[in-house]
Amino acid sequence: MTGLGGRRPPLSRQTIVVTGASSGIGLATARMAAARGAAVVLAARSAEVLAGLRAEIEAAGGRALDVPADVGSRAEVQRIADRAVETFGGFDTWVNVAGLTVYGPLAAISDDDHERLIRTNFWGTVFGSLVAADHFRARGQGGLINVGSVASDLAFPFQGLYAASKHAVKGFTDTLRMELLQEGLPVAVTLVKPTSIDTPLPQRARNYMDREPKLPPPVYAPEEVAHAILHAAVHPQRDIFVGGGGKVLVAAKEFAPGAYDYLAPAITAFQRRREPPHDPEGALHAPIGAGRVRGTHPGYVMRTSAYTRASLHPAALAGLAATGLALGAASILGGGRRSRR
């Protein structure tokens, strides 16, 4: 079905482009895709990290191509696609992962930092999506996976531009899906919305705070996002929340948006460690600190999300919901009987 798509080729028969492949979710996705037999096109600003990752994949018997590029430039994004065509004859799935953040109150952040964040997070996704869509038109099919965030639906004080960029990614992705549907192209478009994920994102952030940043709980492992992305590459879904905690927050905010606004002090506190900043400049303007999947989150990190695993199999999720309703009804009825007695 256009827009969502039916079952697509197995990963072992796919070539997958991954932007932001030098760190965090992108790095976890690239390694997992290669381990499952896909040919992987690795794109990021960190040339040395990409070269090392390509050598690692090839040493394990996989197929990889490294293309150093800044996704904030359409010409460089086009070069990623062109190199994929030259090397592998094209690509089947394009995954837009590249993203950064800035911690601090909106009024304190420089215009240059605001512009750089939007150029990477939003325009990088726009350029990647449009270049991929052009390729899929010529190829006759394809899969596009954009990594948004729970911040696509929620605002977070002291990460205002990050939330704005992810809201924009959601609006763009939904619109592109509708236009591809109207065009009649068999292109599957998925938006993945992770909750807090233990990647180096806070350590690589531009930081205006007087404390080292951290992620608000609950926090999940990056491999859980990679698993969801690669599931969508074969079994497309419209939207995937990674982390049941994020889904609960979004539902609560929809139910009581005014009440959510008053959580600002707590959300801000959850994003601050006790120690002073380690590297306030971060990787916003220069590709530093890449090469690691995991961050340094000081609290508990959940390895998997039962909600996400169930949501990847809608029948199982429906069964889980039905079980929850049945248990809830039994509890209510049981309480009523006890009251009458």
- The tokens for 171 are 């609006």
* Residues assigned a catalytic role: 162
Cα within 13 Å of Cα(113), Cβ side: 24
* CA dist., res. 161 & res. 27, Å (int): 24
Q: Residue holding tokens 């609006």? A: 171
DSSP string, 16-72: EEEETTTSHHHHHHHHHHHHTT-EEEEEES-HHHHHHHHHHHHHTT-EEEEEE--TT
What are the backbone angles phi and psi of residue 335, rounded to the nearest 5°? Answer: -65, -40
Q: Is there a contact between 200 and 24 (Cβ–Cβ < 8 Å)?
A: yes
Tokens 């879904």 found at: 237
Half-sphere exposure of residue 300, counting CA atoms within 13 Å on the CB side?
4
CA distances from 199 to 20, 173, 178, 246 (A): 12, 24, 32, 16
Enter the tokens of residue 327: 């248990």
